[in-house]
Structure 1
Amino acid sequence: MLRADGLSKRFGGLLAVQNVSFTQFAGEILAVIGPNGAGKTTLLNLLSGVYQPTSGRLHLLGQDVTSSPIEHRCHLGLGRAFQIVRPFPEMTVHENVTVGALFGTPGTTLPAARELAYDLLDRTGLAAHADKAAHELTLLQDKRLEVARALATRPQVLLLDEVMAGLRPAEAQEAVALVRSVRDSGVSVLFIEHIMPVVRDLADRVVVMDQGQVIAEGTYREVTSNPQVVSAYLGTEAELHA
């Protein structure tokens, strides 16, 4: 679904991402973890097209999209939900998702976009809030809206940037269930997360970054038993498995 080959990104004298390679497979939930400043969000910006890589190649669904703009990647099947949720505040929840549906697939009619938006609001637990202004939502509902807007673009691969941030433990578990339902609908998911129990419960496979590089890859148990990963997190193996 997604393949990065030697992706690097330099900002002046800072090499934020260095020679990162990984493959995401169909139907997989892949986590990218690492300490603050590891280069995780920069990597997501390279995958989604916000940044162009200094070197390396990126393939999406078998196509080379290394130099492709954001909208081309979106139309090809790449969606993204952001950590900081910024809906159109005065528009209704339903209208926000309708905008995503109209943008995601060129030629989509307004009636079709509205119908898809209602379906996604039902799937993400927001149907009862369809006619509310977006600014009236709670943080958990905002996170659900962000996922619904991304799904409205009809992605085959969905990028999630710390969508659990700021949620209480019970809310985070609701969000975990939502992400699982997204995968079960046929969408592969790549997510960044700092909350290790969420990573443990959700990820099929984990890529660990530190100082812009991949330092480990494998199952949650494999990477959190890796001494280099433990050192990068400045914790203990027991804490990571807690």
Structure 2
Amino acid sequence: MTPVLRAEQLSKRFGGLQAVQGVSFSVAPGEILAVIGPNGAGKTTLLNLLSGLYRPSAGRLFLGDRDVTSLSVEGRCRLGLGRAFQIVRPFPEMTVHENVTVGALFGTPGTRLHDARAQAWTLLERTGLIAHAEKAAHDLTLLQDKRLEVARALATRPRLLLLDEVMAGLRPTEAQEAVALVRSVRDSGVSVLFIEHIMPVVRDLADRVIVMDQGQVLAEGPYHDVTQDPRVVSAYLGTPLTEVT
């Protein structure tokens, strides 16, 4: 089965800083893949390489069978790569429904306004925002903002959704609601790659975990295996994780 995404030896250098070095991995259809590691490990730089915000210094990236290494952010989006950011920036004066409608119009060129609005209503229902559809985006709570960010990304009709610490700032109960939302995204047929520091979230969501350190892949595998790996314990965890609550 062809991976949804495949990275081959991706590297990124900023002057004398090697932020990402020789990173290779793939994301399977229907998979939820977590990327973890200490601050400065290169995780967000990697997501910027995947989404097209940065061009790699070396390496190649494929969406399905297509080489998208030199493709723009917009081009990757229209091939099925969506992204939700840690720091959400909706159009504050527009309504929640209008924000998601913009995503639907952007993601598929030629979409009629009527169809984009209808798609937005469906996504607001899926993401638990239907009651806030006519509310201005600047009036939302943090959890609602996070849901809106996911809804806007889903409106572009992605095959793979990138999530950059979307649980940051949420209370434990809110984080569990967000976990359920991400599961529902995968259940709808969208693969997910997410960065996260909250280990119970990683444990509950990830089918597979990649651990980065100093710009490189340190370990890869199921949650239990990587959290017991002595290299991961030394570089990131400090102690093996047997039970995380």
Task: Give TM-score scaled by structure 1 length.
Answer: 0.99
Q: Does the residue aligned with 1:237 lie in a helix, a strand or coil?
A: coil
Provide the C-alpha distance between the structure 2 equivalents of 1:234 and 1:171, rounded to a whole number of angstroms: 24
Q: Which amino acid aligns with 2:18?
A: L
Alpha-carbon distance between aligned partners in 1 of 2:175 and 2:169, rounded to the nearest angstrom: 9
Unaligned runs of 5+ in 2: none
Q: In 2, distance between residues paired with 1:144 and 1:234? A: 29
The match for 1:237 among 234, 237, 240 is 240
Which among 165, 190, 203 is matched to residue 168 of structure 2?
165
Q: Which moved more, 1:226-235 or 1:201-210?
A: 226-235
| Residue number in structure 2 paired with 1:46 | 49
Deviations 1:20-71 (A, max 9, x none): 0001100000000000000000000000000000000000111100000000
Q: What is the DSSP-based 3-state SS (H/G/I as helix, E as strand, rest coil) of the residue aligned with 1:230?
A: helix
Q: The residue matched to 2:83 in structure 1 has which SS?
A: strand
Residue 233 of structure 1: how far off its partner (Å): 1.1
Deviation at 1:234, TM superposition (A): 4.8
Contact 2:227 2:241 in 1 (8 A): no
Q: Which residue of structure 2 aligns with residue 175 of structure 1?
A: 178
2:79 aligned with 1:101: no
Q: Deviations over 1:191-212 (max 9, x none)?
A: 0000000000000000000000
SS at match of 1:27: coil
Identity of aligned residues (%): 79
SS of match in other structure, 1:22: strand
Total equivalences in the alignment? 242
- Show the counterpart of 1:62: 65
Contact 1:83/1:161 (<8 A) preserved: yes
2:149 to 124, 128, 146: 146
TM-score by length of 2: 0.97
Counterpart residue number, 1:13: 16
Distance 1:2 1:240 in 2: 31
Q: What letter matches 2:208 in structure 1?
A: R
Aligned-residue Cα RMSD (Å) equals: 0.9
Q: 1:98 to 1:140 in 2, by over 3 A?
A: same
CA shift at 1:238, angstroms? 3.5
Report the Cα distance in structure 2 between the residues aligned to 1:187 and 1:151, rounded to whole angstroms.
9
CA contact (8 A) 2:33 2:193 kept: yes
Find the aligned partners of 1:31 and 1:238 in 2 and give their Cα distance.
16
- The residue aligned with 1:24 is 27
Counterpart-to-counterpart distance in 1, 2:10 and 2:241: 32
* Partner residue, 1:134: 137
Distance 1:168 1:132 in 2: 23
